[in-house]
Structure 1
Amino acid sequence: MNQKLRKSSIDRSISGVCGGIAEYFGISSFMVRLLFIFLPVNLLIYIILANTLPDSPPSL
């Protein structure tokens, strides 16, 4: 598995964190967003990931 965790350039709502996590694990981004909404500690994790994850390269 040579895939790296990055922010999504395609599936972006706010900063692409949930879309990037969904692409990495091969699941629906809707499910990842639900986890971030309903688990309160995830807000802090989301802010950290939004500032530290690199952007994915733009696709053509």
Structure 2
Amino acid sequence: MTVHTPKLLTPEEFASLIEVAISSPDAHIPDPHLAKLVTLGYVAVTAKGPIVTGDGLIRITESE
């Protein structure tokens, strides 16, 4: 079961999540943001670069 925690991201971290969604795999976001997004399961780092996961997409749509 996936537990969504929408309040765990600062506005800047959320902006980084959106940046990955829009610019992947060429997103350039701060390393601390990337580490947190990966830890929360919103982003996965692949050989081609960071990509938004299904949970990350859900997190983005939850805040609309």
TM-score by length of 2: 0.34
The one of the two structures with greater contact order (alpha-carbon pairs below 8 A, sep at least 6) is: 1
* Larger strand share, 1 or 2: 2
